[in-house]
Amino acid sequence: AEEAAALRAQAEAVRRLKQDKADPDEIAKEVAKLLEMKAQLAGDEGKPKFVLKTPKGTRDYGPKQMAIRERVFNAIISCFKRHGAEVIDTPVFELKETLTGKYGEDSKLIYDLKDQGGELLSLRYDLTVPFARYLAMNKITNIKRYHIAKVYRRDNPAMTRGRYREFYQCDFDIAGQFDPMIPDAECLKIVHEILSDLQLGDFVVKVNDRRILDGMFAVCGVPDSKFRTICSSVDKLDKVPWEEVRSEMVGEKGLSPEAADRIGEYVQLHGGLDLIEQLLQDPKLSQNKLAKEGLGDMKLLFEYLSLFGITGKISFDLSLARGLDYYTGVIFEAVLLQQENEHVEELVGVGSVAGGGRYDGLVGMFDPKGRKVPCVGVSIGIERIFSILEQRLEASEEKIRTTETQVLVASAQKKLLEERLKLISELWDAGIKAEMLYKKNPKLLNQLQYCEDTGIPLVAIVGEQELKDGVVKLRIVATREEVNIRRESLVEEIRTRTSQ
Amino acid sequence: AEEAAALRAQAEAVRRLKQDKADPDEIAKEVAKLLEMKAQLAGDEGKPKFVLKTPKGTRDYGPKQMAIRERVFNAIISCFKRHGAEVIDTPVFELKETLTGKYGEDSKLIYDLKDQGGELLSLRYDLTVPFARYLAMNKITNIKRYHIAKVYRRDNPAMTRGRYREFYQCDFDIAGQFDPMIPDAECLKIVHEILSDLQLGDFVVKVNDRRILDGMFAVCGVPDSKFRTICSSVDKLDKVPWEEVRSEMVGEKGLSPEAADRIGEYVQLHGGLDLIEQLLQDPKLSQNKLAKEGLGDMKLLFEYLSLFGITGKISFDLSLARGLDYYTGVIFEAVLLQQENEHVEELVGVGSVAGGGRYDGLVGMFDPKGRKVPCVGVSIGIERIFSILEQRLEASEEKIRTTETQVLVASAQKKLLEERLKLISELWDAGIKAEMLYKKNPKLLNQLQYCEDTGIPLVAIVGEQELKDGVVKLRIVATREEVNIRRESLVEEIRTRTSQ
């Protein structure tokens, strides 16, 4: 509208100049200006106004971010492989009904696809439900697998804290009928290995059991029908104080104040084997079958964890609830305790970076005959880990390479494009990682500068004299040293000089 | 309904037995049968009937398929890295308007997300348009990157031939203002390297140029307005004979028979430098500015390709058109010529496994000021390659390992679970890939069988005597040889024995 007004004003100015029979040069100048304004306006109107952005809650990963991502993935994948896991992949979307009834209140966060004819589809919300569908569909009763892929949640994004609508999960699960707590202990060992390996600072893994929670609710006088909703109140204890949770239980959810107070006493407890022993003696809990089972298994779990030497970072915590409906036994969640690196100015929200538990009923929900396959697994939430490492890297002086190029093929004189192409082709065919500038006659200085900028350690320089002598001049970027290498030895020389 | 009828019949049988005062044991037996039938029927009705499947046109990848997939990815990624590419990633969905107007007739195949409030989103259709959006959004004018990710097309799936609705693309692109045909030649070199490396049998890479096509249409008398639609007719020549394409041009698309016949003469031409020279002398084509430009660049391209030593597999082919709207210069497509492996019974459809070209206008469509960034790139279509390798592997005797486990921690006697847990924990912490059976007291035979089944080469056996002696018995699965190794040397011994 502003531009249209300016255009009208300019047209009026031209009209007046003509009326006034002004200097033809001046008229011509103002007419030209008018035409330019018209063209620009038409251009603006003709071109649809794009909003240049990624969808809300999503991001691109540039080369630097990808380099960090690869480091983290490599650490996680080697751990999963160290534990003998196979790998699978499933489609990014599932039939809508596959996801229905698995996530409780969180179901509203599922992305649906538009009905364009055919099946109704939804984007996967996690990797656990597709895994269970895969097991039931292929009648697999025994597998240890990992799966690294993106999942989708229409949640409120908090991108600086690493909370996205599209994010990676790295899942490791053990499915099969086994002796109690051996696979469960391995899942906790894996969390411990990965978080130690990534050097994210101090952490603690909180552990609880759905059966202990349910037993606790029962002995506190929570009616059966309120177990799930009271459980989701308890789940908030890591974010809000007990008083608030208590008033939600009593006020919104209609629990008796006495029951709430009894819960309040339990959920502040956390510890190790000693606490488990104490609760096994608890006059109320020890009378409850579910709680007793859960506590017995928890004791066994801690015995195995102490053989693994990792109980120092594990805390049996009665306030840990976890939201998802499908858990049936042990549940756990790893939390970073603090930001160890002082260089990071803006504190990345300290929080959960891994979680998991036992879900013995989920596969049975897909099996036509309801056959169960007991499962336990862990999911590493790497977006938060990325955020921390990304900010740490930005704060540090470290320059991260985004390519692995070993050598730049360069020339010192003009008219050597063909020779560069021939040499680089030889190098590629020998498996050497090589680049060249896409110019016919690049300046040597620009070629050397490119190496400085991208961290390429070697330059192979062809020149008239070198061609005659059957050699290539190899320059070591860091030291500026230059040596003539016989052409037939060049590949070997580059390999030697770039092997760590 | 059948079950209900059976239930009624059984109830009637029970009623009669009672009426007849039959043997009480017999009555009890029939009543028990009745109750069981009732329970079963109730169970069936209570459970929702799931369709256990993945969405149409998609598939799961099990561990074996993933092992093949990793091999292919590794070959492709090392080639991309050898050429100095960085890597990026973008979200699986884009704003709907980002994809609008980029794919011509194919736009109807785009998956839209349901409008759940907020932005309108679509699943990406390829990796090229998101790449262009990424460049414009971040004002990047110069990058060489690869991107490996899934794309989505609501096409008619043909899964045995490797055509899916969800499939991987492996894209390598060079963006930036460079001297002509140097990046274009590198893209063709990459296709050549990857297809040779994967040993898929003989192949040919067809090359053409949009400018040569447009020039050809012009000199044949195709009206400007019909260039795109006639181009899409030409695109069908790899599947249907010329006569059919001709009648589509004349009948459906209203082209004059003379123009069609002139096109017919050109599109049967294919060859190398000789053909380029011939067409540069062609009295009609050589008068057309676009065609002349295209032919000049094609000549340069062939010169570079001959320096790379790969012209033997490159064919300048005037019938190659490629569907996508965004190409502006060189286009190419790699085709497998035949199935080399005779063991494969069911012939996998021979066809295109890679394609690409130059798209100099796409980034400008996203830039608010229309600033152009010239781009050229290649996309490897690996689903078809997977299909071929999968079928080849199934036909062969080769047993593919799906884990990398080096050693199974086993015990020869009972009550050694704790010792196994301690040992495996030591091995994991030392970086050894180790597994154990999740049983308290597994039989040695079962443990050895597990190694046979999964290809684990070593077994570390703990027993009473070995514990006393401070050793572990290491068994080599292939030879059945057993040696006692001092516990402190075990890690080193396993490393030595499993290093290739």
Q: Which of A167-176, A205-214, B59-68, B232-241 has the lowest mean pLDDT?
A: B232-241
Q: Shortest CB distance from B116 goes to which of A43, A53, A154?
A: A154
Q: Is B153 annotated for ligand binding? A: yes
Q: Is the pLDDT of residue B392 over 90?
A: no
Does B1 share its domain with B110?
no
Does B86 share its domain with B142?
yes
Contacts of B59 in chain A (CB under 8 A): 91
A58 and B93 in contact by Cβ < 8 A?
yes
In chain B, the number of structural domains is 3
Q: pTM of the full predicted structure?
A: 0.86
Q: Is A362 annotated for ligand binding? A: no
Does A326 share its domain with A445?
no
* A-B contacts at Cβ under 8 angstroms: 236
Residues contacting B2, CB < 8 A, separation 6+: none
Q: Shortest CB distance from A91 goes to which of B54, B98, B418?
A: B54
Is residue A211 within 8 A of residue A290, CB to CB? The reply is yes
B421 and A154 in contact by Cβ < 8 A?
no
Residue A209: Cβ within 10 Å count: 29
pLDDT of residue B472: 97
Question: Cα separation of A462 and A485, whole Å?
Answer: 11
pLDDT of residue A1: 63
Does A294 share its domain with A430?
no
Does B372 share its domain with B463?
no
User: Nearest-CA neighbor of B380 among B333, B311, B339?
Assistant: B333
Q: Is the pLDDT of residue B158 over 90?
A: no
- Pick the last residue of a domain from B395, B419, B452: B395
Instruction: Return the residue of B nearest to A134 by Cα.
Output: B60
Question: Cα separation of A56 and B95, whole Å?
Answer: 9
Does A354 share its domain with A492?
no
B94 and A137 in contact by Cβ < 8 A?
no
Q: Is the pLDDT of residue A339 over 70?
A: no
pLDDT digits (tens, 9 = 90+) for B266-325: 999 999 999 999 999 999 999 999 999 999 999 999 999 999 999 999 999 999 998 777
User: Nearest-CA neighbor of A249 among A262, B247, A313, A239?
Assistant: A262
Residue A51 in any domain: the answer is no
Identify which has the larger pLDDT, A384 or A148: A148
Is residue A270 within 8 A of residue A317, CB to CB? The reply is yes
Nearest CA-CA distance, residue A270 and chain B, Å:
26
Does B439 share its domain with B468?
yes
pLDDT of residue B429: 98
Q: Is A65 annotated for ligand binding? A: no
For an interface test with A, the pick among B41, B45, B50, B401 (most A C-beta atoms closer than 10 Å) comes out as: B50
pLDDT of residue B85: 98
Question: Cα separation of A367 and B8, whole Å?
Answer: 28
- Pick the last residue of a domain from A395, A418, A450: A395
Instruction: Return the residue of A nearest to B408 by Cα.
Output: A84
A435 and B84 in contact by Cβ < 8 A?
yes
Does A209 share its domain with A68?
yes
Q: Is A322 annotated for ligand binding? A: yes
CA angle B4, B8, B13 (to 5 degrees): 145
Nearest CA-CA distance, residue B44 and chain A, Å:
8
Instruction: Please report, for the domain that includes residue A424, its CATH number.
Output: 3.40.50.800
What is the mean predicted confidence (pLDDT) over B418-442?
97
A417 and B182 in contact by Cβ < 8 A?
yes
Q: What percent of chain A has pLDDT over 90?
A: 74
Q: Is B322 annotated for ligand binding? A: yes
Nearest CA-CA distance, residue B37 and chain A, Å:
15
**How would you class A160 by CB atoms within 10 Å of its CB: exposed for 0-12, middle for 13-18, buried for 19 or more?**
exposed
B402 and A166 in contact by Cβ < 8 A?
no
Residue A459 in any domain: the answer is yes
Question: Cα separation of A365 and B50, whole Å?
Answer: 9
pLDDT of residue B395: 87
What is the mean predicted confidence (pLDDT) over B65-92?
97
Q: Is the pLDDT of residue A39 over 70?
A: no
**Neighbour order of strands in the sheet with A352-358:** A86-87, A143-152, A166-175, A375-381, A352-358, A330-336, A203-209, A314-317, A270-271
Q: Is A58 annotated for ligand binding? A: no
Residue B401 in any domain: the answer is no
User: Nearest-CA neighbor of A260 among A252, A244, A273, A249?
Assistant: A249
Residue A57 in any domain: the answer is no
pLDDT of residue A24: 75
Q: Shortest CB distance from B88 goes to which of A62, A82, A92?
A: A62
Q: Is the pLDDT of residue A388 over 70?
A: yes
Place B21 in a pLDDT band, splitting at 50, 70 and 90. Answer: confident
Q: How far is CA A88 from the centre of its chain?
A: 18
Residue B402 in any domain: the answer is no
Q: Is the pLDDT of residue B48 over 70?
A: no
Place A396 in a pLDDT band, splitting at 50, 70 and 90. Answer: confident
Structure tokens at B373: 């960034």
Place B50 in a pLDDT band, splitting at 50, 70 and 90. Answer: low
Does B124 share its domain with B260?
yes
Place A380 in a pLDDT band, splitting at 50, 70 and 90. Answer: very high
Q: What is the 3-state secondary structure (H, E, C) of chain A?
A: CHHHHHHHHHHHHHHHHHHCCCCHHHHHHHHHHHHHHHHHHHHHHHCCCCCCCCCCCCCCECHHHHHHHHHHHHHHHHHHHHCCCEECECCCEEEHHHHCCCCHHHHHHCCEECCCCCCCEEECCCCHHHHHHHHHHCCCCCEEEEEEEEEECCCCCEHHHCECCEEEEEEEEEECCCCCCHHHHHHHHHHHHHHHHCCCCCEEEEEEEHHHHHHHHHHHCCCHHHHHHHHHHHHHHHCCCHHHHHHHHHHHCCCCHHHHHHHHHHHCCEECHHHHHHHHCCCCHHHCHHHHHHHHHHHHHHHHHHHCCCHHHEEEECCCCCCCCCCCCEEEEEEECCCCCCCCCCCCCCCEEEEEEECCCHHHHHCCCCCCCCEEEEEEEHHHHHHHHHHHHHHCCCCCCCCCCCEEEEECCCCCHHHHHHHHHHHHHCCCCEECCCCCCCCHHHHHHHHHHHCCCEEEEECHHHHHHCEEEEEECCCCCEEEEEHHHHHHHHHHHHCC
Question: Cα separation of A351 and A336, whole Å?
Answer: 6
Question: Cα separation of B304 and B327, whole Å?
Answer: 21
A112 and B114 in contact by Cβ < 8 A?
yes
Is residue A330 within 8 A of residue A209, CB to CB? The reply is yes
Q: Is A163 annotated for ligand binding? A: no
Does A347 share its domain with A391?
yes
Is residue B114 within 8 A of residue B123, CB to CB? The reply is no
Contacts of B150 in chain A (CB under 8 A): 92
CA angle B204, B205, B211 (to 5 degrees): 145
Residues β-bridged to residue B358: B376
Structure tokens at B402: 């799906």
A438 and B93 in contact by Cβ < 8 A?
no
Contacts of B56 in chain A (CB under 8 A): 118-119
For an interface test with B, the pick among A53, A99, A425 (most B C-beta atoms closer than 10 Å) comes out as: A425
Integer-rounded Cα Rg, in Å, for chain A is: 32
Question: Cα separation of A3 and A41, whole Å?
Answer: 7
Question: Cα separation of B54 and A199, whole Å?
Answer: 39
Q: Is the alpha carbon torsion for B414, B417, B422, B427 positive or negative?
A: positive
pLDDT of residue A23: 77
Residue A237 in any domain: the answer is yes
pLDDT digits (tens, 9 = 90+) for A159-210: 777 789 999 999 999 999 999 999 999 999 999 999 999 998 999 999 999 9
Q: What percent of chain B has pLDDT over 90?
A: 74
Residues contacting A254, CB < 8 A, separation 6+: A226
A56 and B118 in contact by Cβ < 8 A?
yes
Residue B371 in any domain: the answer is yes
Query: How confident is the prediction for chain B on average, in pLDDT?
Result: 91
B111 and A116 in contact by Cβ < 8 A?
yes
Q: Is the pLDDT of residue A345 over 80?
A: no
B82 and A434 in contact by Cβ < 8 A?
yes
pLDDT of residue B349: 46
pLDDT of residue B348: 43
A63 and B87 in contact by Cβ < 8 A?
yes
Does A31 share its domain with A85?
no
Residue B53 in any domain: the answer is no
Domain region containing A5: 1-42
Q: How far is CA A414 from the centre of its chain?
A: 47
Instruction: Please report, for the domain that includes residue B215, its CATH number.
Output: 3.30.930.10
Does B377 share its domain with B435?
no
Residue B326 one-letter amino acid: Y
pLDDT digits (tens, 9 = 90+) for A409-446: 999 999 999 999 999 999 999 999 999 999 999 999 99
Q: Is A61 annotated for ligand binding? A: no
Instruction: Return the residue of B nearest to A62 by Cα.
Output: B88
